[in-house]
């Protein structure tokens, strides 16, 4: 398996703590690969960048970012090569950085006029990967709930593939997610309701939007657990044996599209475009965070807002917490519906599925729900 190969190639018996050259090697490889991907995007912008995002890119800042990634990959690569006996990680980062530079680096000009049309969202994948890693990984490294887990835990590469699978076809997935809501609101739009919510203060609208979304999420999420045919898809999300921010992206496309599409229906009836965009930013950050391997908490806030420990209990295979904690933002929604499980201070001991064997590869998981067999409902 590729993941084992990568771990064997880069892993060695030497310690991985600070000062051993391991972290600088990992950062060098990460920055090098990102920089290389970004320069490839500059060469093929029509094919590899999302038309929806292009207008928002401050190109000066993006070029500075690419240049910094190249420099970062080289500096960390050299540091790693000096500090570490095995040079593979640092060399990989430097090789990608040199390749990116040879291809023109950050100064590759975009000469062709770009037009709308089908494209692969490689830009979105690279940018979101960098952003999410910068936001979450430092917290997971500094204050982990499970210190032994590490970043390169079992199946990390599978989850990178899932992250790719939702970002590259961004045009198709966003079209499918928006389809039911746009169709319904076109024919059944309620301008009165929109005007009524629009007259409320921004913060109230934002809170109501989260509430409406989480109620919809609670309902459809519970349905995915109780209807055997839907569970086949959602079981993929529950197959993670260890959680971190990246594990949150493991989700079958059908699960992802149906859940997000369903949540957007009440949202588009009741809230303005600006509020919905604000909610989308919030849900991306919050839902990713609830999966993270991050221990600290604010105890007085826990009854009102979901912290990682709460959603981690949703992912346990321990019998006492099966089919509990369906909400993703407000834990009291589970309290109201009688599905709340939150033992004081405790974290789960086991994650994943005890009574169901899920195949290990992305494509096998993609076809898994369609295979004919008897599936036990949860
Ligand atoms: Zn679930
Ligand atoms: Zn989850």
Ligand 1 center–CA 297 separation, angstroms = 22
Ligand 2 center–CA 137 separation, angstroms = 18
Q: Which two tokens stand for residue 150?
A: 């590490």
Ligand 1 center–CA 160 separation, angstroms = 20
CB 144 within 8 A of CB 71: no
pLDDT tens for each residue of 247-293: 999 999 999 999 999 999 999 989 999 999 999 999 999 999 999 99
Q: Which residues contact 229 (CB under 8 A, 6 or more apart)?
A: 369, 375
pLDDT attached to residue 16: 67
What is the rounded CA–CA span in Å between residue 249 and residue 235? 13
Ligand 1 center–CA 232 separation, angstroms = 11
Q: Which residues contact 220 (CB under 8 A, 6 or more apart)?
A: 258, 259, 262, 263
Ligand 1 center–CA 352 separation, angstroms = 11
Ligand 2 center–CA 222 separation, angstroms = 13
What is the rounded CA–CA span in Å between residue 90 and residue 92? 5
Ligand 1 center–CA 4 separation, angstroms = 28
**What residues pair up with 233 in beta bridges, in sequence order?**
none
- Counting ligands in written order, the one closest to the CA of 223 is 1
Ligand 1 center–CA 139 separation, angstroms = 24
CB 196 within 8 A of CB 272: no
Ligand 2 center–CA 227 separation, angstroms = 18
- Counting ligands in written order, the one closest to the CA of 288 is 2
Ligand 1 center–CA 15 separation, angstroms = 37
Angle formed by the axes of helices 273-290 and 253-270, to 10°?
Answer: 140
What is the rounded CA–CA span in Å between residue 373 and residue 365? 15
Ligand 1 center–CA 323 separation, angstroms = 8
**What residues pair up with 67 in beta bridges, in sequence order?**
none
Q: Which two tokens stand for residue 212?
A: 């409406």
pLDDT attached to residue 326: 97
Ligand 2 center–CA 242 separation, angstroms = 11
**What residues pair up with 351 in beta bridges, in sequence order?**
316
Ligand 1 center–CA 179 separation, angstroms = 24
Ligand 1 center–CA 145 separation, angstroms = 20
**What residues pair up with 316 in beta bridges, in sequence order?**
351
* Residue reference for tokens 């369609």: 370
Ligand 1 center–CA 330 separation, angstroms = 15
Q: How far apart, in Å, are the Cα atoms of 203 and each of 217, 275, 303? A: 21, 10, 20
Closest-CA residue to 374 (of 232, 177, 212, 271): 232
- Counting ligands in written order, the one closest to the CA of 255 is 1
Spell out, as residue ranges, where the chain has pLDDT lower than 50. Answer: none
Ligand 1 center–CA 222 separation, angstroms = 7
Count CA atoms closer than 13 A to 169's CA, side-chain side.
11
């Amino acid at each position: 398996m590729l993941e084992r190969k990568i771990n064997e190639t880069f892993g060695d018996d030497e310690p991985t703590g600070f000062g051993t050259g391991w972290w600088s090697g990992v950062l060098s490889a990460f920055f090098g690969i990102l920089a290389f991907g970004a320069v490839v995007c500059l060469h093929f912008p029509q094919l590899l960048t999302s038309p929806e995002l292009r207008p928002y890119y401050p190109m000066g800042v993006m070029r500075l970012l690419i240049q910094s990634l190249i420099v970062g990959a080289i500096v960390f690569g050299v540091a790693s090569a000096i500090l570490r006996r095995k040079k593979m990680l640092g060399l990989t980062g430097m090789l990608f950085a040199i390749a990116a530079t040879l291809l023109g680096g950050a100064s590759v000009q975009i000469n062709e006029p770009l037009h709308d049309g089908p494209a692969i969202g490689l830009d979105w994948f690279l940018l979101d990967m960098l952003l999410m890693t910068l936001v979450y990984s430092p917290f997971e490294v500094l204050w982990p709930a499970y210190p032994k887990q590490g970043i390169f835990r079992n199946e990390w590469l599978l989850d990178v593939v899932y992250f790719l699978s939702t970002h590259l076809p961004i045009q198709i997935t966003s079209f499918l997610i928006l389809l039911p809501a746009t169709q319904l609101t076109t024919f059944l739009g309620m301008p009165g309701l929109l005007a009524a919510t629009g007259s409320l203060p921004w913060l109230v609208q934002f809170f109501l939007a989260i509430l409406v979304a989480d109620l919809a999420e609670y309902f459809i999420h519970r349905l995915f657990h109780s209807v055997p045919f839907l569970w086949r898809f959602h079981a993929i999300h529950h197959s993670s044996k260890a959680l971190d921010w990246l594990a949150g992206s493991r989700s079958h496309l059908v699960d992802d599209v149906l859940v997000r599409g369903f949540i957007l229906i009440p949202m588009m009836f009741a809230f303005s475009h600006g509020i919905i965009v604000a909610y989308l930013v919030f849900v991306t950050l919050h839902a990713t965070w609830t999966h993270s391997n991050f221990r600290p908490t604010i105890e007085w806030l826990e009854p009102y807002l979901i912290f990682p420990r709460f959603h981690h209990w949703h992912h346990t295979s321990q019998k006492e917490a099966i089919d509990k904690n369906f909400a993703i933002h407000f834990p009291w929604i589970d309290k109201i519906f009688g599905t709340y499980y939150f033992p004081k201070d405790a974290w789960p001991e086991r994650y994943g599925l005890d009574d169901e064997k899920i195949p290990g590869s992305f494509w096998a998981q993609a076809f898994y729900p369609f295979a004919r067999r008897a599936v036990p409902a949860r």
